[in-house]
């Protein structure tokens, strides 16, 4: 049993620490979702406080009017005032409901947000029957919002756009021959992969026709490029390789999204492992 599983040992050793290039868009997506959670929590709380304060004010007002009514003022006017005041309360309280439904979505989708103050909202809603009806109506709204909440998909479109817009920047940086800190923000030794291109246009127009990696001082370099079906279309162990878009079987690689892995060692024999998407446009 001990010696036998060298395959497991090998893969564990080499792959458990494998790092992949994380696009900044991913953090934006995560960040906006967590921010939404926190903001919803705070604003519901705020609304509850506002509601309580308003309710207290109304009650005080009503009591005052009643008192003054007993001292001989016109009662009809008071009743009008009273009903106006209580009408005003309703919209304020019902404002809480959209918030409630928003914070209710994650519970439905991935039951994560148990900490949302959804529980405390019904307590305020209950005293007013009218509002209960509104709360039911807002359930319908929930579904609409749920549909709207799948927005992160849209992020993908943005991604494609950014990938394209990044290309010119890369080219500019290359021509200036300066250090590219943005694409490799980690502390690196002298040996480094300077940037990971993500667009490649092997259409023979003389611009970006070959896919190369700008690197320095790497040992044991290896790159493997996979197509969308996870088939290896190209691999090389030469750091100064240049892929012309011809697959290993001799065919032209079609336009589409490819994925590449790079591994190497720096001069301290520390492993460098990176990967990135590569968009091939013809």
Chain residues in the site for other proteins (CB under 8 A): 4-8, 10-12, 14-23, 26-27, 29-31, 33-35, 37-38, 110, 112-113, 115, 152, 156, 220, 222-224, 226, 228, 230-232, 235, 237, 259, 261-264, 271, 273, 275, 277
Question: Residue 70 or 228: which CB sits closer to other proteins?
Answer: 228
Least separation in angstroms between residue 279's CB and other proteins is: 12
Q: Which residue has the tokens 């009662």?
A: 75
Question: Residue 144 or 248: which CB sits closer to other proteins?
Answer: 248
Question: Residue 8 or 74: which CB sits closer to other proteins?
Answer: 8
Question: Residue 15 or 63: which CB sits closer to other proteins?
Answer: 15
CB-based contacts of 247-252 (< 8 A; 24+ apart in sequence): 252/202
Least separation in angstroms between residue 68's CB and other proteins is: 47
Least separation in angstroms between residue 55's CB and other proteins is: 29
Question: Residue 86 or 212: which CB sits closer to other proteins?
Answer: 212
Spatial separation of the C-alpha atoms in residues 96 and 124, rounded to whole Å = 9
Least separation in angstroms between residue 73's CB and other proteins is: 51
CA atoms lying within 13 Å on the CB side of residue 252: 12
| Helix residue ranges, H only, the chain | 6-15, 24-70, 75-94, 96-110, 120-125, 129-148, 152-176
Least separation in angstroms between residue 246's CB and other proteins is: 18
- What string of H, E and C letters represents the secondary structure of 171-238? HHHHHHCCCCCCCCCCCCCCCEEEECCCEECCCCCCCCCCECCEEECCEEEEEEEECCCCCEEEEECC
Decide if 188 contacts 270 (C-beta within 8 A): no
Decide if 100 contacts 121 (C-beta within 8 A): yes
- Residue 49: C-alpha distances to residues 42, 93, 98 (Å): 11, 11, 16
Decide if 158 contacts 239 (C-beta within 8 A): no
Question: Residue 74 or 119: which CB sits closer to other proteins?
Answer: 119
Question: Residue 134 or 265: which CB sits closer to other proteins?
Answer: 265
Least separation in angstroms between residue 223's CB and other proteins is: 6
Least separation in angstroms between residue 21's CB and other proteins is: 7
Spatial separation of the C-alpha atoms in residues 21 and 159, rounded to whole Å = 14
């Amino acid at each position: 049993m001990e010696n036998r599983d060298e395959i497991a040992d090998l893969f564990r050793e080499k792959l458990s620490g494998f790092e992949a290039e994380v696009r900044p868009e991913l953090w934006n997506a995560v960040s906006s979702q967590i921010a939404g959670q926190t903001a919803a929590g705070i604003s519901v709380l705020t609304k509850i406080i506002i509601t309580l304060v308003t309710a207290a004010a109304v009650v005080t007002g009503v009591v005052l009017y009643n008192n003054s009514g007993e001292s001989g003022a016109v009662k009809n006017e008071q009743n009008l005032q009273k009903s106006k005041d209580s009408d005003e309360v309703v919209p304020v309280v019902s404002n809480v409901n959209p918030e409630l439904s928003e914070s209710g979505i994650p519970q439905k989708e991935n039951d994560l947000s148990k900490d949302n103050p959804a529980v405390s909202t019904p307590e305020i809603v209950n005293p007013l029957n009218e509002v209960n009806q509104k709360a039911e109506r807002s359930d319908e709204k929930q579904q609409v919002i749920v549909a709207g909440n799948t927005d992160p998909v849209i992020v993908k479109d943005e991604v494609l756009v950014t990938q394209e817009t990044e290309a010119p920047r890369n080219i500019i940086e290359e021509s200036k021959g300066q250090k590219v800190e943005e694409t490799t923000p980690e502390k690196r030794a002298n040996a480094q992969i300077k940037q990971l291109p993500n667009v490649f246009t092997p259409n023979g127009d003389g611009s970006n026709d070959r896919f190369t990696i700008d690197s320095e001082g790497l040992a044991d370099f290896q790159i493997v490029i996979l197509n969308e079906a996870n088939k290896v279309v190209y691999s090389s162990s030469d750091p100064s390789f240049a892929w012309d878009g011809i697959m290993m079987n001799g065919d032209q690689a079609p336009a589409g999204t490819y994925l590449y892995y790079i591994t190497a060692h720096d001069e301290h024999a520390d492993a460098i492992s990176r990967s990135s998407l590569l968009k091939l446009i013809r």
